[in-house]
Amino acid sequence: MKNSIREALLQERELYSPTNEEIENIKKRFFSLPKVKASKYVLLYFPHKKEVNTLPIIDELLKQKKVILLPKVKDKDILPIQVKNLSTLKSGYAGIKEPEGNPVSPEIIDVIVIPGIAFDKRGYRLGYGKGFYDRFLKKTKGLKVGLAYDFQVLDKLPKEEHDVPVDILITPTKTIYIKEEKND
């Protein structure tokens, strides 16, 4: 079930060309979150394929002198490593650009920005199917923010015990605050 949705939505994402306005609106919504304003340590992702482009957000965070972290995949884990200059990144897991250096503790991270193939209105997320973020998100109390285009937000995704939902889902047109009740 997860696999067929994953394939369909991944294909849709590959074919999608967002406008500059859509990316700009996601960025504006992100920076209007109070917890982002108050943050110091922010873990983002370096955009891969047609994931929502985080580079404008990263540039702004660097200007604001926040500590920017990007994931490095080691074995089956995400290690959050500080990045001061995007030109120092090297191709790593699945060809995704990664930083080098010593990881910080997941516990100090204030905000985590998460890509997805699809999300649902309860905050559940479909990734590439390796569970990297599910494992990582259990280790942090930071605000979990998913970025998606509107077509990537479905009513209900299949969910398993290990799946960790996001707290906030941002699309170009909506900021969805996920409620506490996630039992259905």
Note the residues at the interface with Mg ion (CB under 5 A): 134, 163
Q: What are phi and psi for residue 116, nearest 5 degrees?
A: -160, 160
> In the complex with ligand ADP, which residue's Cβ is closer, 75 or 160?
160
Q: What is the size of the binding site for ligand ADP (CB under 6 A)?
A: 13
DSSP letter at 103? B
Short-list 98, 94, 152, CA closest to 126: 152
Contact pick of 63, 90, 162, 179 for ligand ADP (by CB under 6 A): 162
| CB 128, min distance to ligand ADP, A | 5
Angle at which helices 55-63 and 20-31 pack, to 10 degrees? 40
| CB 170, min distance to Mg ion, A | 19
Vertex 148, ends 121 and 104: CA angle to 5°?
Answer: 100
- 127 touches ligand ADP (CB under 6 A): yes
Contact pick of 104, 135, 154, 175 for ligand ADP (by CB under 6 A): 135
Query: Any bridge partners for residue 114, and if so which?
Result: 146
Contact partner at residue 135 from Mg ion, ligand ADP, none, CB < 5 to 8 Å by partner kind: ligand ADP
CB 119 within 8 A of CB 153: yes
Among 18-26, 88-96, 105-113, 128-136, which window interacts with ligand ADP (CB under 6 A)?
A: 128-136
Helix segments in 73-129, DSSP class H:
none
Residue 125 and residue 117: Cα distance in Å, rounded? Answer: 8
- 50 touches ligand ADP (CB under 6 A): no
Residues that bind ligand ADP (CB under 6 A): 2, 126-131, 134-135, 138, 160, 162-163
